[in-house]
A and B are shown apart, each in its own frame.
Chain A
Amino acid sequence: MKPRPKSARYLPFGDSALLIEFGDTIDLEVNRRVTALAEAISVAQIQVEEVVPTYRSLLVCYDPMKITYEQLAFRIKDVEESLERTIKEKRGRRFVVPVIYGGEYGPDLDFVAKSHGLTHEQVVKLHSSREYRVYMIGFVAGFPYLGEVADEIATPRLETPRLKVPAGSVGIAEKQTGIYPCEAPGGWRIIGKTSIKLFDPQEQPPTPLKAGDIVKFKTVSEEEFRTTEGKSLSISTRNTKE
């Protein structure tokens, strides 16, 4: 039987937010507890302004004029203790992201391949054959942190970040992979690009992905790339395991 996970730490974050820390590493079990607690807080209708799930912690913003730190911590602890020992998560929503790897779309594919003694095709296969979990959204609006990539393609960030990474770029940083929803500076190794639109402030919610969702990459032709240009990502209904 699995040991009971060590209990979460409750830490003040200024005078109007509470940080609940489940661990200090990138870990699937830790992240499951984060998303499960976020969900449970919303079900329990605790008076909070906003919750922000990240890799390993949940930030809960509150209005100190409505609820005190102690009252809030007490109510959330109650909810947290009722979480299952091992989170039995509903299978997250699945999304398929069409990508062109390498060339002008993925300037670092060559580096990633060479540094691991792999061919381009092997890197693409390793990257696109896995299902990734959305651990969190952050950095820039709509940027999903996905994990974890196969050890064979885990690659450190660029030593000097690029000033501009184009929108749609798919990158690797250590064991994480992610998609730049808009042009931004960044140091991730760019191996490909999607033409799908990942962030639109006119939509509600502005990005289709949320922590706990599942993302898979699929290689597409230039033609398909053009047909998905600017389209938004939709939930996949068909089984992508080929």
Chain B
Amino acid sequence: MKVFQTLKPGLFTTVQDIGRHGYLKYGVPISGAMDQFSLTVANLLVANNENDACLETTLIGPELQALAEVQIAITGGNCTPEINNHTAPMWQTLTIQEGDVLSFGKMESGCRAYIAVRGGMDVPVVLGSRSTYARGGFGGNRGRQLKAGDVINGFDAKPLLNEHRLPKELVPRFSDYFKANVILGPQAEMFTEKGTETFLSNQYRVTLEADRMGYRLEGSTIEHKGKADIVSDALLPGAIQVPKNGKPILIMKDAQTTGGYPKIAVVVASDLSSLGQAKPSDDIEFSKTTISQAYEKSLQLWRSLENLKRSMKNT
């Protein structure tokens, strides 16, 4: 089913789901939503599977014309959506009519927004996922970002009888300051005590070199004990590499799968989604946590999503 005609593509709009898992050993990045929490909620608001494919926008949203009556939900950073030039709410189900134009104003907060369509975006599954990996040129909509004129297809699904809304207290608020919990290691021992202390007690600013692969950060120099390279080993989103210049690099979803810089720490899974909303000149502060504390936080997040799923089934 044809869902949208792309009038304007926006800065970097791609199709993403929860990513391509199981192919790291072949050098294939995970890809998927930079802010997985927002993608999941967008899907739940239109009663999709939580890993269905959505559109991910970056800073400047697209302009899309509906080619059918569809139900959608918009989540993520506050992207000031409009339908036919009238302000439209985020974090809830919306019904739009054939011919309606969905557009976005200024990005008031965060960096990325998610547009879910009832039924999910219909693009081919490549290596188990519908996510776009633009550098590799595969997945999503023809392996690339949206272009003007692209038609987006969606799967047929029964329209919802009820509209859903995410309870206000669960809506994440993004500012220009982010806090993230990390587990030190696996190569924390390659840094001096002072280096680790520097990393944990300062804010790091996202530079212009920030994209789906990762963010180069600027801030106090982190001191290595000796050499600043290792025989390459595996990388995962959330890993923080520190090359010789002492400036950390946060690894994100489209990053290469191996790397030769020591990793001082790794961001815990439950804090990674919000970092997907960090943009150049935002600040990030890293705090040390433990695996058991991280588990408690993941469990909380899992429970609130389960509650959400149940509450939506009941309405």
B24 engages A50 (CB within 8 Å): yes
Complex CA distance for A55 and B259, rounded to whole angstroms: 11
A142 engages B239 (CB within 8 Å): no
Task: Mark A residues whose CB is within 8 Å of B.
Answer: 11-17, 19, 21, 24-26, 49-57, 59, 61, 64-65, 68-69, 136-143, 145, 182, 199, 201-202, 204-207, 210-211
A21 engages B26 (CB within 8 Å): no
B26 engages A207 (CB within 8 Å): yes
Complex CA distance for A15 and B186, rounded to whole angstroms: 11
Which of A15, A136, A204 meets B294, CB within 8 Å?
Answer: A15
Task: Mark B residues whose CB is within 8 Å of A.
Answer: 21-29, 126-127, 136-139, 182-183, 185-186, 230-234, 236, 238-239, 256-258, 263, 266-269, 291, 294-295, 298-299, 302
B234 engages A11 (CB within 8 Å): no
| Complex interface: chain A residues within 8 A of B230 (CB) | 24
> For the complex, would chain A's binding face be called helix, strand, loop or mixed by DSSP majority?
loop
| Complex interface: chain B residues within 8 A of A14 (CB) | 182-183, 236, 238-239, 266-269, 294
Please give me the residue from chain B that is nearest to A25 by CB atom.
B231
Please give me the residue from chain A that is nearest to B182 by CB atom.
A14
Complex CA distance for A143 and B126, rounded to whole angstroms: 19
A138 engages B258 (CB within 8 Å): yes
A53 engages B25 (CB within 8 Å): yes
Please give me the residue from chain B that is nearest to A183 by CB atom.
B137
Least distance between A205 CB and chain B CB atoms (Å):
6
| Complex interface: chain A residues within 8 A of B24 (CB) | 50, 52, 59, 61
Complex CA distance for A177 and B139, rounded to whole angstroms: 29
- List 15 additional A-B contacts (Cβ < 8 Å) besides A13-B186, A14-B266, A15-B291: A11-B185, A12-B185, A14-B182, A15-B183, A15-B268, A24-B231, A49-B21, A52-B234, A54-B234, A55-B232, A64-B294, A136-B232, A139-B258, A201-B139, A206-B28
Complex CA distance for A150 and B139, rounded to whole angstroms: 39
Least distance between A111 CB and chain B CB atoms (Å):
23
| Complex interface: chain B residues within 8 A of A138 (CB) | 27, 232, 234, 256-258
A19 engages B27 (CB within 8 Å): no
| Complex interface: chain A residues within 8 A of B302 (CB) | 65
* Chain A to chain B contacts (Cβ below 8 Å), 26 pairs: A11-B185, A12-B185, A12-B266, A12-B291, A13-B186, A13-B266, A14-B182, A14-B183, A14-B236, A15-B266, A16-B269, A50-B22, A54-B234, A55-B231, A55-B233, A57-B233, A59-B24, A61-B24, A61-B236, A64-B269, A138-B27, A138-B234, A139-B232, A139-B258, A201-B28, A206-B28
Complex CA distance for A164 and B45, rounded to whole angstroms: 43
A26 engages B25 (CB within 8 Å): no
**Given contacts A15-B291, A24-B231, A26-B231, A139 and B25 within 8 Å (CB-CB):** no
Least distance between B111 CB and chain A CB atoms (Å):
22
Please give me the residue from chain A that is nearest to B139 by CB atom.
A201
A201 engages B183 (CB within 8 Å): no
| Complex interface: chain B residues within 8 A of A68 (CB) | 295
**Given contacts A15-B291, A15-B294, A136 and B258 within 8 Å (CB-CB):** yes
Complex CA distance for A12 and B189, rounded to whole angstroms: 13
Which of B22, B26, B183, B294 meets A141, CB within 8 Å?
Answer: B26
Please give me the residue from chain B that is nearest to A138 by CB atom.
B258
Complex CA distance for A145 and B232, rounded to whole angstroms: 10
| Complex interface: chain B residues within 8 A of A49 (CB) | 21-22
A65 engages B298 (CB within 8 Å): yes
**Given contacts A12-B183, A69-B291, A139 and B126 within 8 Å (CB-CB):** no
Complex CA distance for A137 and B233, rounded to whole angstroms: 10
For B22, B24, B268, which residue has the most chain A Cβ atoms within 10 angstroms? Answer: B24
**Given contacts A13-B236, A14-B239, A54-B232, A19 and B186 within 8 Å (CB-CB):** yes
A141 engages B233 (CB within 8 Å): no
A59 engages B256 (CB within 8 Å): no
| Complex interface: chain A residues within 8 A of B185 (CB) | 11-13
Least distance between B250 CB and chain A CB atoms (Å):
12
| Complex interface: chain B residues within 8 A of A53 (CB) | 25
B186 engages A140 (CB within 8 Å): no
Which of B127, B137, B234, B267 meets A206, CB within 8 Å?
Answer: B127
**Given contacts A15-B295, A59-B236, A139-B256, A206 and B266 within 8 Å (CB-CB):** no
Complex CA distance for A202 and B127, rounded to whole angstroms: 7
| Complex interface: chain B residues within 8 A of A52 (CB) | 24-25, 234, 257
| Complex interface: chain A residues within 8 A of B268 (CB) | 14-15
Please give me the residue from chain B that is nearest to A27 by CB atom.
B231
Please give me the residue from chain A that is nearest to B22 by CB atom.
A50
| Complex interface: chain A residues within 8 A of B267 (CB) | 14
| Complex interface: chain A residues within 8 A of B182 (CB) | 14
Complex CA distance for A142 and B256, rounded to whole angstroms: 11
